[in-house]
Amino acid sequence: MKKTVSILTLSVVLFACGGDKEKTVEEVIASSNLTEIRAKKEAISALHTSYEQQLELLNAKITTLDTNKKIVLVSSFSAKEEVFNHYLELQGNVSTNNLVVIMPEVPGILTSVFVKEGQQVSKGQQLAKIDDAGMAPQLAQMKIQAELAKTTFERQQRLWEQKIGSEMQFLQARSNYEAQEKAVKQVEEQIAKTEVIAPFSGTIDEVITEQGNMVSPGMNQLFRIINLNEMHIETAVPERHIATVTKGKNVEVEIPVLGKKIQAKVVQVGSFINPANRTFKVEIPISNESKMIKPNLTAKIRINDYTNEKALLIPQSIISENANGDEYLYIIEKKVKNVGVAKRIIIKTGQTEGDLIEVLSGIKNGAEVILEGSRSIKDGQEVKVITQK
């Protein structure tokens, strides 16, 4: 075959050049002889075809004789079912329902302050006293009048029961007594407002107004009281997660400033979607035994919004995509010892967590998936596994 091709090539060259010394391509082009140029092109094409045929013959023979032919080296791992938890990562703020700025309910001079900053107080404990503007003596006089009205009423009631006196006298006495009692109660309530009382047990975080100052309702702040025992995280969750972020979901809370991590649960899910940012509110209680967690600290939270008890997880880096947008990977079949055949598998993926992605369909539990080397192989190609995880 080789001899036949060589003779044919030589004949073409001799025919093209008329038996003279073979001209170079540059010389033929310079001659501007169309016939000679075409002849030169045909001669070179014949040589090219000859070399291709010879290379094919050589490669075929090498494949037959070479017992150590080159095989693509890969690593693999066995896809196994495992529990997969997906987390929604958000940022929240530490808050407490027991944080109150106490303000006066009546105007007057703050005559006494009974606590100092950092002091622990109990619910109902008196914190301060506001001048009652002379209401105490007034109350004493009103109580005397109320006692007189009561005595008069009781006397008229006994007479009326004995059918003595008129009904009008009885009704007037009762009305006067009730009016006096109501007046006494109103003044007592006003005087009670001059005593500043702790609404819950906690710590006096700040004494805002000092003793001797004039205070008025809605104008002056007296104390800031806080209880650090009952803390919680508040965060805004995008509305698309409303079906997966529900009451009872597990949450991982991290407070970076303190280097503290806490396991918690969602206890309250808002029923209102904020139209401004399309989010709903979630509340997560946290323990604070050390009292180191303070209101308004920033917290990182990870809410477990999805769990698959039998998930097949693979690295995202081994997934490729074809022209149709389908995702695929390679598995190993027909494996003998460490040598097998690579097979391309179209897969469907789900949630991701870090570098891993969940495979919903395409591969089965126990499938041997090609890890390293997957980018340099083709479907049906023979591969050798050098590492299996």
Beta bridge partners of 314: 357
Average pLDDT, the chain: 88
Q: What is the pLDDT of residues 330-372, one digit of tens each?
A: 999 988 888 999 999 999 999 998 899 999 999 999 999 999 9
Pairing of strands 126-130, 108-113: antiparallel
Write down how long the chain is: 389
As a whole number, mean pLDDT of residues 241-252 equals: 94
What would the two tokens of residue 201 be? 């047990």
What domains are there in the chain, each with its CATH number?
A: 2-65 (no CATH), 72-84+309-388 (2.40.420.20), 89-97+227-307 (2.40.30.170), 100-225 (2.40.50.100)
Does 311 score more than 80 pLDDT? yes
- Residues 279-283: contacts with CB under 8 Å, at least 24 apart: 279/236, 279/237, 279/238, 279/239, 280/236, 280/237, 280/239, 280/242, 281/234, 281/235, 281/236, 281/237, 282/234, 282/235, 282/236, 282/237, 282/245, 283/232, 283/233, 283/234
Candidate from 49-63, 115-129, 151-165 with smallest mean pLDDT: 49-63
Does 26 score more than 80 pLDDT? yes
As a whole number, mean pLDDT of residues 279-286 equals: 96
Does 18 score more than 70 pLDDT? no
Does 287 score more than 70 pLDDT? yes
| pLDDT for residue 68 | 57
Beta bridge partners of 74: 385
Question: Is the separation of the CB atoms in 345 and 328 below 8 Å?
Answer: yes
| pLDDT for residue 43 | 86
Number of neighbouring beta carbons within 10 Å of residue 296: 9
Taking alpha carbons only, the member of 266, 272, 274 closest to residue 305 is: 266
Does 191 score more than 70 pLDDT? yes
| pLDDT for residue 9 | 44
Q: How far apart are CA 9 and CA 43, in angstroms?
A: 7
What's the predicted TM-score (pTM) here? 0.61
**Cα three-residue angle 41-44-45, rounded to 5 degrees:** 85
As a whole number, mean pLDDT of residues 210-225 equals: 93
Candidate from 55-64, 223-232, 272-281 with smallest mean pLDDT: 55-64
Does 84 score more than 80 pLDDT? yes
As a whole number, mean pLDDT of residues 225-253 equals: 94
Question: Is the separation of the CB atoms in 94 and 233 below 8 Å?
Answer: yes
Q: How far apart are CA 347 and CA 361, in angstroms?
A: 6
Does 20 score more than 80 pLDDT? no
| pLDDT for residue 85 | 92
As a whole number, mean pLDDT of residues 18-29 equals: 72
| pLDDT for residue 135 | 85
As a whole number, mean pLDDT of residues 104-126 equals: 94
Question: Is the separation of the CB atoms in 21 and 69 below 8 Å?
Answer: no
As a whole number, mean pLDDT of residues 13-41 equals: 73
Number of neighbouring beta carbons within 10 Å of residue 208: 15
Does 173 score more than 60 pLDDT? yes
| pLDDT for residue 110 | 94
Does 16 score more than 70 pLDDT? no
Task: Name residue, tokens 């107080």.
Answer: 121
Q: How far apart are CA 25 and CA 376, in angstroms?
A: 40
Does 66 score more than 70 pLDDT? no
**Cα three-residue angle 12-13-17, rounded to 5 degrees:** 120
| pLDDT for residue 195 | 92
Helix 34-65 vs helix 2-17: angle between axes, to the nearest 10 degrees? 170
Does 204 score more than 80 pLDDT? yes
Does 15 score more than 50 pLDDT? no
Is residue 106 helix, strand or coil? coil
As a whole number, mean pLDDT of residues 267-273 equals: 94
| pLDDT for residue 12 | 43
Task: Name residue, tokens 């190993």.
Answer: 332
